[in-house]
């Protein structure tokens, strides 16, 4: 587990919010974020030796840096990447285990090395079909027992994805909130399969 207790990591995260999105709408606090319990959940679950991946850059990216996971973040905007690195550099926070890839997830995810992952956070583009694409290429790399976290579950495209995951017995719900959810994967390997393997699924 992290050298710091998870609660202390989250406290330090919220005490010094990285100002990464001033040029991208300047959200409250200067950074895109979800509910605090989501960060507490991730901090409690993650271990420094884990491999993690997220689509979208925000406060969660800084959390993975503080935990020390081998983390990959796919984000489209150069300014948010530069601002996050500046935030870390100014505070002498190590980023050797952080890989930031500028680009849209539908272009990038399929090109990444197919190393196994322990946790995936989907919080990038939310227009249809981006959440499904992010899930297909990233969650397919999760090990059995790996954790999938999805934010902004109130949005229509995300709700469609959750409808499938809730029907699929290979995904076990861990946490459900009005803002974010988490699942544990009960299988492994790529998600490519025929419709005959999805008889649990109906609309």
CATH class of 6-187: alpha beta
Taking only the tens place, the pLDDT of each residue in 38-81 is 999 999 999 999 999 999 999 999 999 999 999 999 999 999 99
The DSSP output letter for 114 is -
pTM for this prediction: 0.94
**Tokens representing 172?**
């076990």
Rounded to the nearest integer, the mean pLDDT of the chain is: 94
Taking only the tens place, the pLDDT of each residue in 77-105 is 999 999 999 999 999 999 999 999 999 99
H/E stretch holding 180 reads strand 180-185
CA distance 172 to 165: 8
Residue 146 confidence (pLDDT) above 50? yes
**Tokens representing 77?**
């905007």
pLDDT confidence band for 195 (50 / 70 / 90): confident
Counting every residue written for the chain, the total comes to 203
CA distance 134 to 54: 9
Domain positions in the chain are 6-187
Residue 118 confidence (pLDDT) above 80? yes
What is the pLDDT averaged over residues 22-51? 89
């Amino acid at each position: 587990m992290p050298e710091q207790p998870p609660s202390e990591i989250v406290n330090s995260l919220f005490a010094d919010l990285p100002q990464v999105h001033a040029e991208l709408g300047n959200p409250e606090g200067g950074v895109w974020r979800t509910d605090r319990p989501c960060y507490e959940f991730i901090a409690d679950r993650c271990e420094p030796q884990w491999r993690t991946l997220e689509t979208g850059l925000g406060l969660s990216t800084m959390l993975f840096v503080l935990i020390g996971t081998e983390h990959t973040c796919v984000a489209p905007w150069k300014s948010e990447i530069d601002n996050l690195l500046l935030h870390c550099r100014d505070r002498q926070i190590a980023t050797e285990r952080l890989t930031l890839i500028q680009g849209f997830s539908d272009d990038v995810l399929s090109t990444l090395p197919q190393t196994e992952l322990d946790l995936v956070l989907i919080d990038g583009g939310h227009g249809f079909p981006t959440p499904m694409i992010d899930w297909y290429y990233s969650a397919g790399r999760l090990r059995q027992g790996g954790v999938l976290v999805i934010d902004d579950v109130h949005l229509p495209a995300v709700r469609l994805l959750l409808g499938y995951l809730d029907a699929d017995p290979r995904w076990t719900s861990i946490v459900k909130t009005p803002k974010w959810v988490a699942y544990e994967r009960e299988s492994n390997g790529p998600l490519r399969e025929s419709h005959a393997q999805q008889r649990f699924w109906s609309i």
